Structure 1
Amino acid sequence: MTLTIKKIWPVLLVVSFVLHREVTSIEVNTILLLVLTSFVVLLNKGKMIKRDFDVLSLLLLIICIGSFTAIFNKPSAYNFIRDLLYFTKPVLLILLGYFLTRLINDWKVVFKALIYLGVGYAVYHILHFVIFTNFNHPHIISHIRGVNGLSNIIEVFSIALIVLGNKYKEYSIFSKKSTKYICLFLLFTSFTLYFSRTMFVGLVLLVLGVLNYLKLNKKGLKYLGLLLLAITILYTYLFTVKIDRKGDGIENFLYKLKIAPSEIFSPKIDLNNHASLWDHWRAYEALRGLQGLNESPVSYVGGKGFGALVDLKFAAPISSEGTIRYIPILHNGYIFILYKTGVIGLLIYLYFLFSLYFQAYRKTDRLDTKNFGNLLSATSLYLIFSSLIITGLYNLQEETAIILGIFLYLKSNSNRKN
């Protein structure tokens, strides 16, 4: 009976990821995951390792700031609740991953669940690509991404875990090399077919992070230097060749790579040039967020609060339901948090991310503590990067918060044993 119950928890972990990814209604999605999180927290009697509770309380503090400053801006109930949901849900997801991992109590089972879930999604994505892609479409890359999906961070973490197992044999979940290579082939094929810049950078950061190559020491600086050199060579090439914005296939992908930096930061944006505006949309959103704070400089302290909307100054065709002038969410997670919770909230968020990153610096003789710390640190590095372009921890379309909860428990539990 006990053995049967133990087998339920890995299944429930996989179900959690699937529910979060596949249930598109944010209301239904949140209710289901809230029930699931409440269930596993109660089973664990809400017991968290103190250090983990202290870390998680930083996110609760951000919620308190956004809720308090909303009082002064009097948002509509709907807008307030929506923001409250956006800032609360990552906390629920971290708790879900944390307590499910505690119930499973076996890191190998958790790794297997994550890797095979990624492989399952890879197989599905490849089949979907083969069946539903119109290979005669004039804008093939945009079409592929529109039909088959924009990204899947689970696959990236699956690859990173396999790489970790390749470096340390005791961390490999595969009994046969052929199985490992088949899984890697499927994952990399699916990864390539997403044509996602975020996934590409995320994979580089996660792999280097789990291999302990992104610490600011002699070895880390060496790999960081090589990474910067590779980026310099890439962009030197991109800016010395003519790449057509309306080009097909790989040319379109290279154009998006070329404009990636200016897509995030662009001091001059011409609203009358629609092509340029869409190419720099993230930068324009962020600019409008900062200009909105400038209207009342005191808002820089605690933000405009939950429910505050960013005025785009024109009705933009960015919704399937029509045009929108006032938006609640920004792609740039740092400006998003600054706008809602001010400098105080932003500093707390940065402290949260960097406190996780520095887990890799804790000295230990235990291999498990070291590797789990590297996983936690690598995940925080990914969030530091993704906060620039896809809202980071507060991107409710990604499963990173669940994964963060998993690694947080594994690291703290191994450290406690140590």
Structure 2
Amino acid sequence: MKVTLNKEWPYQLLFLIAVAFSYINNYEISLSVWLIILAITIKRYYSKSIIVLCSFFALIVFLGLLRSFYYDYNLYDIIRDFSYFIKPIVGLLIGYQCFRSKENNFFNTVIYTALIIAVIHLLILANAFLVYRIRYVFEIRDHGGFFSDFETFALLILIFHKKFQLNFSLKKRFILTSIIGFSLCLYLARTNMIQFVIVFCGMLGLFQLNKLKLIILTIIFIIGSISYKIIYDMNPSRSATGFENFLYKIKNAPKEIYDPYVVNDNSPRFHDNFRSYETKITIQQVKGKDNWGLWLGKGLGATVNYGVSIWTNDGYQVRHSPILHNGFTTIFLKTGIIGLIIYISSIVYLATMKRKSSSNYLNNMKLLLNSSGIFLFISSLVFLGLYLKLDNKSLFIGGLIAYYELISKNKNLI
């Protein structure tokens, strides 16, 4: 497979580095690298679209900072939260700044970046199989990672290659799809399954509703509901290993989002539905703080008291957590209902961004962009959305916006 470098290769390399470091489970290092890349690639001019999108997140940061002055928080805690809450802005701008030239094809760069990520992922798992003899689902995910939104986007671009004018040969397309697809399957991630379905439906234009598309979406919903009912009736065991354990996680997924009856009793239900417990106690603690807490939150530096020490994926035990699994709950904790309204507005803006064009190429990019916005809502429910420490969707979205605008202004490139 021959890969030709062009004069924009430094931006491609910087984009690759930004994506690669998002997979490293050390937020301080990954954010530092992102900030360096942001400074290197900074531009003089930015479009209205990217400014408006970033402004939503900037408003949330401003509101959180303002509220932090009303409480006696440790300066370190405020700075820590500030670093978490600027991440979407940094990611969007890096992606936007890396794709401002016609020489840097966004879709090619995404695919080859995903290929490198996939190869590294497969090598890590191969080493784990040979050295540690891993064979269970939790071991595969513990060594290889829990999800890969970026590879999911790349796989979808390959599937819809004609819509994005990718002139890969059948052989090259097969190799790329096989490697990235196999790597993606080994994450065994429910979130990526949902992402795939949502963006796939979006690329078919099913969210641009008419009578036929509404019927198709209804059929898909019915099939999904029946499939879930079958899995539920199979009653996969919580203590099972392998694929049955994966089915158990699918069965339990709705309760993970919100289970109003979960309590801190160290039971299997508590551990399985811990995200629900987070949401429940966050609402209770924010409401009980002061009269304005419900509307404006508790500010940057605020934490939720679990009432018990919990192990994190970073290998630490925490009792007071500044960041929760649910993105909406995290924003509610820091900035209240007003912050939630701002965040939901950013999702709606992304899901409806750009007008329909006479160019099919631009319309297909719009479908991908809007579908990403729809998925962001689901992602925020389970994995913090753009605020996740391991997130790279902001890089993808920022780059896609920039490339759309580049093609829109230079239609001779189509």
Q: Please indicate, yes or no, whether the TM-score normalized by the shorter chain is above 0.5.
A: yes
Cα gap change, 1:17 to 1:319, in 2 (>3 Å): closer
Match of 2:320 in 1: 326
**Any idea what SS the aligned residue of 2:99 has?**
helix
- Higher normalized helix content (fraction of residues): 1
User: 266-275 vs 126-135, which deviates more?
Assistant: 126-135
> SS where residue 160 of structure 2 aligns?
helix
AA paired with 1:84? F
* 1:304 equivalenced with 2:298 (yes/no): yes
- Give the conservation status (yes or no) of the 8 Å contact 2:257–2:382: yes
1:338 paired residue number: 332
Counterpart of 2:49 (choices 36, 48, 51) is 51
Quick one: which amino acid aligns to residue 215 of structure 2?
A: K
Does residue 63 of the first structure (1) align with residue 61 of the second (2)? yes
Aligned match of 1:75 = 73
Shift of residue 94 of structure 1?
A: 0.6
| 8 A Cα contact 1:353 1:384, kept in partner | yes
Change (3 A) 1:299 1:416: farther
Quote the residue 1:242 is aligned against.
Answer: 235
TM-score, normalised by the number of residues in structure 1? 0.91
Residue of structure 1 in register with 2:155 after alignment: 159
Residues 239/39 of structure 1: CA separation in 2 closer, same or farther (3 Å cut):
same
CA displacement at 1:81 relative to structure 2: 0.6
Match of 1:31 in 2: 32
Q: Distance in 2 between matches of 1:8 and 1:53?
A: 24
Q: Name the count of aligned residue pairs.
A: 406
Pair 1:87–1:383, CA change in 2 (3 A): same
User: In the alignment, what sits opposite 1:99?
Assistant: 97
The range that moved more, 205-214 or 180-189, is: 205-214
**Equivalence for 2:19:** 17
Residues 289, 335 of structure 1: 8 Å contact kept: yes
What is the CA distance between 1:183 and its match in structure 2? 1.3
Give the Å deviation of 1:54: 2.1
> Match of 1:224?
217
Residue identity opposite 2:398 in structure 1 = G
Shift of 1:306: 0.3
- Once residues 290 and 58 of structure 1 are traced to their aligned partners in structure 2, the CA distance between those partners, rounded to angstroms, is 23
Matched-pair identity in %: 26
Give the alignment of 1:240-319 within 5 angstroms.
240-295=233-288, 296-318=290-312
Kindly indicate whether the alpha-carbon contact (under 8 Å) linking 1:312 and 1:326 is maintained by their aligned counterparts in 2.
Answer: yes
| 1:212 positional shift | 2.1
Mapped partners of 2:235, 2:160: distance in 1? 39
CA positional deviation for 1:219:
4.3
For residues 78 and 276 of structure 2, the distance between their equivalents in structure 1, rounded to whole angstroms, comes to 25
TM-superposed deviation, 1:340: 0.5
User: Which residue type is aligned with residue 347 of structure 1?
Assistant: I
CA shift, 1:411, in A, is 2.8
Output the amino acid matched with 1:19: F
What corresponds to 2:144 in structure 1?
A: 148
Give the structure 1 partner of residue 10 of structure 2.
Answer: 8
Question: What is the distance in 2 between the residues matched to 1:32 and 1:267?
Answer: 40
Aligned with 1:94: secondary structure? helix
CA apart distance, 1:154: 1.5
Q: 1:241 to 1:134 in 2, by over 3 A?
A: farther
Q: How does 1:314-393 map to 2 (within 5 A)?
A: 314-318=308-312, 323-359=317-353, 362-393=355-386
**Map of 2:82 onto structure 1:** 84
How far is 1:325 from its partner? 1.5
The answer to which of 394-403 and 146-155 deviates more is: 146-155
* Secondary structure of the structure 2 residue equivalent to 1:312: strand
Structure 2 gaps of 5+ residues are none
- C-alpha distance in 1 between matches for 2:64 and 2:300: 5
In 1, Cα distance between the equivalents of 2:269 and 2:357? 51
* Cα distance in 1 between the residues matched to 2:181 and 2:59: 39
**Residue in 1 that maps onto 2:112:** 116
Q: Provide closer, same or farther for how the CA distance between residues 246 and 179 of structure 1 changes in structure 2, counting only shifts above 3 A.
A: same
Deviations 1:104-157 (A, max 9, x none): 3346x2211111121222222223323312799797111111122212222101
Query: Corresponding residue for 2:191?
Result: 198
Counterpart Cα distance in 2 of 1:15 and 1:231: 37
* 1:8 CA drift (Å): 2.2
Greater displacement, 122-131 / 336-345:
122-131
What SS is found at the alignment partner of 2:235?
A: coil
Q: Please say if residues 133 and 147 of structure 1, whose CA atoms lie closer than 8 Å, have aligned partners that are also in contact.
A: no
CA distance in 2, matches of 1:151, 1:265: 21
Q: How does 1:375-414 map to 2 (within 5 A)?
A: 375-414=368-407
Distance in 1 of aligned mates of 2:115 and 2:219: 30
